[in-house]
Amino acid sequence: MEARQMAERIARILYKKKADEILVLDVTHLTVITEYMVIASGRNFLQTKALADDVDDALAEAGIALRAREGKDEGKWIVLDYGSVLVHIFHPEDREYYHLERLWDDGQNHVEIDFETDGQAEA
């Protein structure tokens, strides 16, 4: 699966699981560590953990291996590393504090996803 397809799939999984403020950024021209970042928020610590588990479970079923996971125990900022896609799931207060969008959003690298009309969502 190509990086953009994976990022879009992750965003749809998060959407179906009621994540807030889902943002997909193409960062290929900004860094060599990854191609896409998916940033989302859970409403509380339990939801951030559940969202991370849901993404990992769905991608594992598709044969996509997780390289690394950080922050699951705390549930404030969970990072899932799939190589070409990094997933950041935040507790709302931590997302506001760290504001990753400020660092990685150049105003032209948003990946638009129409969650309402795309029937390819997978959970």
**Can you give the pLDDT of all 123 residues of the chain as single tens digits?**
899 999 999 999 999 999 999 999 999 999 999 999 999 999 999 999 999 999 999 999 999 999 999 998 888 999 999 999 999 999 999 999 999 988 998 888 989 988 876 545 444
- Smallest Cα–Cα separation from 54: which of 84, 87, 13? 13
Q: Which CATH class is domain 3-104?
A: alpha beta
**Tokens 């948003």 belong to residue:** 110
pLDDT at 122: 47
| Cα distances (Å, whole numbers) of residue 56 to 21, 24, 87, 104, 106 | 19, 17, 10, 23, 28
Q: Tokens 């928020």 — which residue?
A: 41
Q: What does residue 17 show for φ and ψ, rounded to 5 degrees?
A: -95, 15
> What pLDDT is recorded for position 117?
62
